Structure 1
């Protein structure tokens, strides 16, 4: 357990089920610690390797950390903003509250009220910032560009996953559900693969209980198309970085997304990306001279199939876009840069 006297920043996680927010905390906190930010987590569902504080130690927040007038509470959900407001405003603890918003929709009156009580607000994209009615700092997420990196040998990377190295692979990673557009990816592959025997497809990710029927329906559709050996549902993997290394093309077919890290993870692995115009995707992908992929309209099967076919049939384009994607991700989206931007927000609200 962390000593609260040595902790300047608390990162609460009040949701047990793994989510994008939880994943962000897990990835960011070690980097923040390496950069000298004295941060600890509070809550369940987080690895024991992270520095933790206990609920029963919250009374100690009446005493600020060594050398500081305030401590920062970095909330990412409504259920994390409200307790901080109570601690700061009712119990008069020396806290400053920072909130990160990833939502791209109009907030409810309750959420607007909570956000209005924040000392600083961070938006994960310019699109997210446009939905806020308070001043915010835009800070796009970053990723671990060491973990997500190209293989030395693509064929060997495929063999290690039990894949045929002679096959080119299109991938779609993330939760299996309609919101994520998994059905659009499957329908695109069913349309394109029969004419392209050198291509196969992978869906990596878990279907939660309420979406298992949806996943089973997709598997039946693939089987009926005679493509069960070329459109593979491989489930959820902790070594997902290795699965990116086996890809030649990545597709992010979401109908809705708050931010969406998968295109960044693919680009950092030198894989070109086709993504829908949701979340932060248009802010992540370059479509001009230094193309890293392309953006297509959401929920549009014809557009997805056309863009995918163009990339599948143009190997030089894929190679150029992959090289551009690698450089783009490393230069603009390293997780260390995100941690540094957060550190600047913390320093500002703490007064220096």
Structure 2
């Protein structure tokens, strides 16, 4: 916690469990601070070293920040928009309200009402922007290419896993139907017997309501005799080295918001096969960094994975090209720069640091 006199942006995070929004904040806020922006988070579920304010500090928002007439309340969820409206219109705090939308669906009437009360709106992709009924700016999420980077040491290689085979294919994220984990497992059961050099890993949380789903997948793997070659890792403490150990990453989601994992994989020099859910189709350069298939289409997913298992050099080539692609189009600095322009417009002053002007 810290004093709020120089803070221009509040980034609430009103969700305990890790989500795509939370992952975005964990990467973005430190980058914004590095660039000199006065920004703090508010809420649970974030690392202790994140710059933050406490709920008991909310009365300090009645005082205007140094050098500005307002602060920006940057919401990313409905409950955060509602809180911002209460703080401004009921408690009369000097706030400008900004909402970032990653949804790939038509918004409810309630959500549309909240959005209509915002001072500015950002969409994380062209597709999410197509569902908005208000003027908006498209600013795509980025990834920290210092955190997600190509292999550097032996710990970043396949041998560090202790798993059989020479090449690793993986699927990360919560284990559930929405994420398409079953499609990945089905593809691996069908393909791996033909490609003995490959092993598959699945990492992610299995919540109580999805335990039966995960157990069914494990039973299918056992029935196929592939327990040694299709492994469930659970929720690992640090997923970054696992991206670097992969030769191919698969993102088979049926439904997504934005979805950072393909970018994290490509930044780690890993080729990607993904569905067109969320913004995946806007992230991948087909035929250069990976492949994109229709969401929920098992045959297309399987057929897109097969060439990489048959020719590991193709995975290697697309992995190398993926690094350059992400650094050029999806570096975290680009997202921070885009938001600085929106913040500057809302506050009527230039918040862009001189070095990036």
Question: What are structure 2's unaligned runs of at least 5 residues?
Answer: 350-357
- Deviation (angstroms), 1:287: 1.4
1:144 aligns with 2:149: no
1:29 aligns with 2:26: no
**Larger deviation: 81-90 or 64-73?**
81-90
State the match for 2:162 in structure 1.
Answer: 162
TM-score by length of 1: 0.96
- Deviation (angstroms), 1:154: 6.6
Question: What are structure 1's unaligned runs of at least 5 residues?
Answer: none
The 1-side partners of 2:242 and 2:187 are apart by 20
Q: Is the 8 A contact 1:123 1:137 kept in 2?
A: yes
Q: Is the 8 A contact 1:266 1:272 kept in 2?
A: yes
State the match for 1:190 in structure 2.
Answer: 189
State how many pairs are aligned. 349
Secondary structure of the 2:157 match is helix
Secondary structure of the 1:227 match is coil
1:278 aligns with 2:277: yes
Secondary structure of the 1:278 match is coil
1:351 aligns with 2:344: no
The 2-side partners of 1:18 and 1:239 are apart by 13
The 1-side partners of 2:158 and 2:195 are apart by 19
State the match for 1:96 in structure 2.
Answer: 96
Where in structure 1 do 4 or more consecutive aligned residues deviate above 6 Å? none
State the match for 1:300 in structure 2.
Answer: 297
TM-score by length of 2: 0.95
CA RMSD of aligned residues (A): 1.3
The 2-side partners of 1:118 and 1:162 are apart by 51
Q: Is the 8 A contact 1:154 1:245 kept in 2?
A: no
**Larger deviation: 153-162 or 115-124?**
153-162
Q: Is the 8 A contact 2:247 2:312 kept in 1?
A: no
Q: Is the 8 A contact 2:258 2:279 kept in 1?
A: yes
The 2-side partners of 1:309 and 1:196 are apart by 9
The 1-side partners of 2:214 and 2:49 are apart by 34
State the match for 1:262 in structure 2.
Answer: 261
- Deviation (angstroms), 1:238: 2.5
Cα deviations across residues 268-314 of structure 1 (Å, max 9, x unaligned)? 111111111110011000015xx110111111111111111112112
The 1-side partners of 2:4 and 2:340 are apart by 18
- Deviation (angstroms), 1:202: 0.6
1:51-200 superposed matches below 5 A: 51-152=51-152, 157-164=157-164, 166-200=165-199
Cα deviations across residues 64-112 of structure 1 (Å, max 9, x unaligned)? 1011111000000010011111211222221001100011111111110
State the match for 2:355 in structure 1.
Answer: none
1:204-283 superposed matches below 5 A: 204-283=203-282
